[in-house]
């Protein structure tokens, strides 16, 4: 569960990027966070990843106030959350298999577990046949699938996706959304930050709207359509 209570974040004093935001996301939910550029969506993701500290308020993830997590324990906290970015952030000099395996190596998994788990994840995202390909040999949609496989390979309870379809054409964007929906159906909480309102309307999920750092709407997808 993710909970924000009266959270504010100001990069410059007096100009808040997020202003007194309170919201709650239950385990297993699929939530869109929408808003214009500079509305505070990415700040929210950074706060949830503990890349930034809130200026005010409390953030609770999986029943833990994340302000109490020490610097040393941040990596262990991040392993509970998978993240996907608009620009994929894959390692260009490693193939698909190695990119996904990398996430498991980082957390100290054994080679045996890596050999077992990576093919399963690649099958889930539909890239089992392309495990030897390098990122530049893949389409944008395929690269994003690799990024999703990497985000999920360590079994996090939460998946944060920051504009996952921002660099994709319509068809690929839809495929990624279907994949995220499938992942959500398996029990993972999925939070997607996007400004693609067409997809948001069609997906018919909960939508949190942020404008100029303020939470201005929190409703089911049907409200927007």
Question: Judged by CB under 8 A, how many residues of this single chain contact another protein?
Answer: 22
Q: Does an H or E element contain 181, and which?
A: helix 170-185
- Cβ–Cβ < 8 Å for 221, 209: no
Please pick, from the candidates 60, 79, 119, 201, the single residue that binds another protein as defined by CB under 8 A.
79
Please pick, from the candidates 91, 120, 216, 219, the single residue that binds another protein as defined by CB under 8 A.
91
x-or-dash pattern for another protein, window 151-180, by CB under 8 A? ---x--------------------------
Q: Which stretch binds another protein (CB under 8 A): 14-22, 105-113, 164-172, 203-211?
A: 105-113
CB of 179 to another protein, least distance (A): 19
Please pick, from the candidates 22, 24, 27, 89, the single residue that binds another protein as defined by CB under 8 A.
89
The neighbouring-strand residues paired with 24 are 3
Structure tokens at 98: 């190695």
CA distances from 137 to 34, 92, 134, 153, 171 (A): 32, 10, 5, 22, 19
Q: Which stretch binds another protein (CB under 8 A): 106-114, 125-133, 177-185, 192-200?
A: 106-114
How far is residue 165's CA from residue 134's CA, in Å, rounded to a whole number? 20
Q: Residue 212, SS3?
A: coil
Please give the distance of CA 174 from its chain centroid, rounded to a whole number.
16
How far is residue 36's CA from residue 54's CA, in Å, rounded to a whole number? 21
Establish if 150 lies at the interface with another protein (CB under 8 A). yes
User: Taking CB under 8 A as the criterion, which residues in 107-136 touch another protein?
Assistant: 107-111
Residues that bind another protein (CB under 8 A): 49, 51, 72, 75-79, 83, 89, 91, 102-103, 105-111, 150, 154
């Amino acid at each position: 569960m993710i909970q924000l209570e009266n959270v504010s974040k100001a990069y410059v004093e007096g100009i808040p990027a997020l202003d007194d935001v309170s919201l709650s996301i239950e385990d297993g939910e699929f939530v869109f966070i929408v808003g214009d550029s500079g509305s505070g969506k990415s700040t929210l993701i950074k706060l949830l990843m503990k890349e930034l500290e809130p200026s005010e308020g409390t953030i609770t993830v999986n029943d833990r106030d994340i302000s109490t997590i020490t610097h040393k324990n941040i990596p262990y906290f991040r392993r509970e959350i998978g993240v996907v970015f608009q620009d994929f952030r894959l390692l260009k000099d490693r193939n698909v298999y190695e990119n996904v395996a990398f996430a498991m190596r980082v957390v100290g998994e054994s080679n045996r577990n890596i050999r077992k788990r990576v093919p399963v994840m690649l099958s889930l995202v539909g890239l089992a046949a392309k495990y030897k390909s390098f990122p530049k040999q893949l389409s944008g949609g395929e690269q994003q699938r690799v990024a999703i496989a990497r985000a999920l390979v360590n079994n996090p309870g939460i998946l944060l996706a920051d504009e996952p379809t921002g660099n994709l054409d319509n068809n690929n964007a839809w495929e990624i959304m279907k994949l995220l929906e499938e992942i959500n159906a398996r029990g993972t909480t999925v939070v997607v930050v996007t400004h693609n309102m067409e997809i948001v309307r069609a997906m018919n999920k909960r939508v949190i709207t942020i404008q100029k750092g303020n939470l201005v709407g929190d409703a089911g997808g049907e409200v927007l359509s």
